[in-house]
Amino acid sequence: MNRTETGLVNSPPRRWLQRTYEVPVLLRFGGRLLPGTRALEIGCGSGYGSQLILERFGADTVDAVDLDPTMICRAARRLARYGDRVRLAQGSATDLRAALDADDESYGAVFDFGIVHHIPDWRKATAEVARVIAPGGRFYFEEVTSHALARPAYQRLFDHPADDRFSAEQFLDELTRNGLVVLGSLTRIQGDYLLGAAAKPVSTGGER
């Protein structure tokens, strides 16, 4: 992330948006977590999302990973009060075994607050998400689409991978290709932003 985006994601308006808009939408599509749920946040940034995952979604514990060690330090300061309910790791969402020793089907919920569009091999990241979600578990996502990234203002202000970005439809298709069932989603601002939740079916095709 460049300095402009780093400043923006660490700002009070970003936290306000996450708290007052994104969380209610994601809860509407995916619901609160079952007691005892072990959650994972990919690209946790300064850790505010993990705080919301504990407080608003009801996770028992959160493992959180970010590529940027500076962000992990920020998240460690914010989340210190939760003690061993939070585990932080520096690493990539494209290899959760290396970052967190994450086994197949080891999380009841995975959260993506605006990170997959930063990853050059975004399909690898979605495959990793699908791999680590347990049957009946949830994937909550908030993403920035190729439509937004193509806007001149976005290109001037921010620094994202340019090739092979995804539309809302392509992102949802990729989840389905990886065995997840989309529970609900919406797009905002002419398709610039995508929010939704998906589930990994239990063996009979049911959920939770």
Ligand X SMILES: C[S@@+](CC[C@H](N)C(=O)[O-])C[C@H]1O[C@@H](n2cnc3c(N)ncnc32)[C@H](O)[C@@H]1O
Nearer to ligand X, 49 or 108 (CB): 49
Interface with ligand X (CB under 6 A), residue from 71, 130, 148, 175: 71
Phi and psi at 32, nearest 5°, equal -75, 160
Cβ–Cβ under 8 Å, residues 40 and 139: no
Tell me the closest approach of the beta carbon of residue 8 to ligand X, in angstroms: 8
Nearest-angstrom CA–CA distance, 23 and 56: 8
* 42 sits near ligand X (criterion: CB under 6 A): yes
Choose, by CB under 6 A, the member of 43, 108, 137, 196 that binds ligand X: 43
- 145 interacts with ligand X by CB under 6 A: no
Torsion sign across C-alpha atoms 64, 122, 114, 202: negative
115 binds ligand X (CB under 6 A): yes
Q: What are phi and psi of 41, to 5 degrees?
A: -115, 125
Q: Does 137 bind ligand X (CB under 6 A)?
A: no
Neighbouring-strand partners of residue 90: 66
Question: Distance between CA 192 and CA 37 in Å, rounded?
Answer: 31
The DSSP code for 137 is E
Tell me the site size for ligand X, rule CB under 6 A: 22
Residue span binding ligand X (CB under 6 A) among the ranges 52-60, 91-99, 147-155, 176-184? 91-99
Residue with tokens 């990886």: 178
37, 59, 64, 118: which one binds ligand X (CB under 6 A): 118
Q: Which residues bind ligand X (CB under 6 A)?
A: 1, 5, 9, 14, 42-45, 49, 65-68, 71, 92-94, 113-115, 118-119
